Chain A
Amino acid sequence: MVRNWLDVYSADPSNIVDHFHQFGYVAGFAKSRTSFMHLIWFACSWAIWKERNDKLFCNKENPPMKLLENVKLLSFWWFKAHDVSSHYSFYMWCQNPFSCAGIG
């Protein structure tokens, strides 16, 4: 779903480190693009981890769509916090995160 959002495609290596590396390169080999994809990757893994903890310890369960929303929101926050001058809204981030990040 995340890949759908970003309009990229890749296979999933079974090893977590390989997965991280590969995900970094699916949008291109430029440093800025790799860095951006890694940001998304961190957001994904964090969202999944939080969801897993919620499920296990609080008995709460969210639909997958909610998880995707969380990923978008997290990455948007992190991106905004780092780049305060960015004037893009969350809506635009969801529409086209690459151009918000200035690497479209």
Chain B
Amino acid sequence: MDKEVGGLGIRRIREFNLALLGKWCWRLLKDTEVLWYRLLAARYGLVRGRLDVGGRDSSVWCRTIVGIRDGDALVSGSWFPDNLRLDIGNDVNSLFWLDRWVGEVSLSVRFHRLFELSENKMATVAQMFAWGWYEGGDAWRWRKRLWAWEEVLVEECRNILSNVVLQVDIADSWRWFSDPATGYTVSGAYGVLRSGTPTNHLVPASSLWRKDVPLKVSVFAWHLFRNRLSTKTNLFQRGVAVCFWMWST
């Protein structure tokens, strides 16, 4: 809690850790020329210009970083990609569907149906542009013939794209949404994370539901972790009538 509101100013360790890890994600997107990035790329591999998780022998660190970057719900949720924007230039690495480069959300979110049908899911913006995203352009390749309502979506998508001008001589640059001027800062990200509803970190299913522990115990623990045990306090809070003899014991 902040000192201003009567706390000791101790940070929330989980959120702060995420903010620090987020800095790595940020630098993995920005500083792709430096030696440590090239080392990581060699160790874990790249997928479309982004660091890959690196298969089964990957490290926890790498998986966490990639999980945060991709907004994996199991790692930390989508706070990182939610706050990321891409100013499009002539870079070959920006993903047409998956990155947020036009509008408030990525095209794969906004036109989910089209993304499902697209044959060019991993195409970059530059590729799509080169193939032509005008009507009947080569960029629009689908797994099946589109229905009329799907054609309407394509039309809508094209309308958005018609406003886009690719700046050929400027490289792509990432922008941190909540602090566009300075980019990602740990304190800024910590603020973002803290302002969100506190992530209720639950116990993973695999460690709660075990074969060796009786089911009733697992169910009990499940209640316990959610603070839903039928204790006096909980029953009272929920307005369940509490008998007098219970109080007297």
Contact = CB atoms under 8 A, between A and B. Distances in A.
A34 B207 CA distance: 9
Contacts of B200: 17
Interface stretch (A2-10, A42-50, A63-71, A92-100): A42-50
A55 to B, nearest CB: 8
A38 B220 CA distance: 14
Given A42-B217, A46-B220, A49-B220, A16 B225 contact: yes
Q: Is the interface of A mostly helix, strand, loop or mixed?
A: helix
A21 B202 CA distance: 10
Nearest to B13: A18
Contacts, number: 45
Given A45-B224, A46-B220, A35 B211 contact: no
A81 B217 CA distance: 15
Contacts of A16: 224-225, 227
B213 interface: yes
B211 A82 contact: yes
B207 A24 contact: yes
A42 B221 contact: yes
A20 B225 CA distance: 9
A82 B212 contact: yes
Nearest to B227: A16
Contacts of B201: 17-18
Interface residues of B, number: 20
Interface string A79-94: 1011100000000000
A31 B211 CA distance: 15
Given A17-B202, A56-B246, A78 B221 contact: no
A81 B221 contact: no
B96 to A, nearest CB: 40
A78 B220 contact: no
27 contacts: A16-B224, A17-B200, A17-B203, A18-B201, A20-B203, A24-B207, A34-B207, A35-B207, A38-B207, A38-B210, A39-B213, A42-B210, A42-B217, A42-B218, A45-B220, A45-B224, A46-B217, A46-B220, A49-B220, A56-B246, A56-B249, A59-B249, A78-B214, A79-B212, A81-B212, A82-B212, A83-B212
Interface of B: 200-203, 207, 210-214, 217-218, 220-221, 224-225, 227, 229, 246, 249
Interface of A: 16-18, 20-21, 24, 34-35, 38-39, 42, 45-46, 49, 56, 59, 78-79, 81-83
